Amino acid sequence: DTAVSQTPKYLVTQMGNDKSIKCEQNLGHDTMYWYKQDSKKFLKIMFSYNNKELIINETVPNRFSPKSPDKAHLNLHINSLELGDSAVYFCASSPRDNNYGYTFGSGTRLTVV
Amino acid sequence: GESVGLHLPTLSVQEGDNSIINCAYSNSASDYFIWYKQESGKGPQFIIDIRSNMDKRQGQRVTVLLNKTVKHLSLQIAATQPGDSAVYFCAEEFFGNEKLTFGTGTRLTIIP
């Protein structure tokens, strides 16, 4: 049973398109995140949500819009895709108590052509 | 701003030897540190963590050392195995910040 699952695993799309990535966690965690990993493997936080509320928005272009319908789901919608959006996007969750224990999904490789 | 960096981008180690991966951080307010392992095509996987009130923590074949004086973190892997080949990241967080800041990663390659 996958703890943090993302779909799709691979996404190839043309510039200008709009696409969504879905994330679900079955760990009962209160906080979920989106991280972006570039071609040099650098991981950087984009957003975090705590119990459906936006906590962190790390100066991400407003073409990126996260949505959390409930605390087990955090989806990422991207409008007007650009070449520079090509990366691997990771969803993660955390219980936000004394034992932080971030758990990451397996990633979505987005390629914009 | 805060930053977490690694001294070596790549490390090659003979199978069976011990590996040491180093990490420097700049935010003295950071109070929680984690090492992650990322294998090809997978997400980061938790290895071991340590809080700022500790200097050392041991797990199964792994040890994390924290030197707050020089803001340095290291991961020691004992008796390295082929399955240890991966990119290793250190990450830091401080209370109230609610996010992990990752270092640039070190690729560990095991030589048979």
Q: A50–B98: do the CB atoms touch at under 8 Å?
A: yes
The pLDDT value given to residue B111 = 94
With beta carbons less than 8 A apart as the criterion, state whether B65 and B55 touch.
Answer: yes
Q: CB-hemisphere CA count at 13 Å for B22? A: 7
Tokens of B27: 């935010």
Q: B43–A105: do the CB atoms touch at under 8 Å?
A: yes
A43 shares contact with chain B (CB less than 8 Å) = yes
CB neighbour class for B63 (10 Å; exposed up to 12, middle 13-18, buried from 19): middle
CB neighbour class for B22 (10 Å; exposed up to 12, middle 13-18, buried from 19): middle
Mutate to test the interface with B, among A58, A102, A108, A109 (most CBs of B within 10 A): A102
The domain tally of chain B equals 1
What CATH number should be reported for the domain holding residue A69? Answer: 2.60.40.10
The domain tally of chain A equals 1
What CATH number should be reported for the domain holding residue B80? Answer: 2.60.40.10
Domain hosting B72: range is 4-111
pLDDT in tens, chain B (112 residues): 334 554 448 999 999 999 999 999 888 888 999 999 999 999 999 999 999 999 999 999 999 999 999 999 999 999 999 999 999 999 998 877 778 899 889 999 999 9
With beta carbons less than 8 A apart as the criterion, state whether B83 and B73 touch.
Answer: no
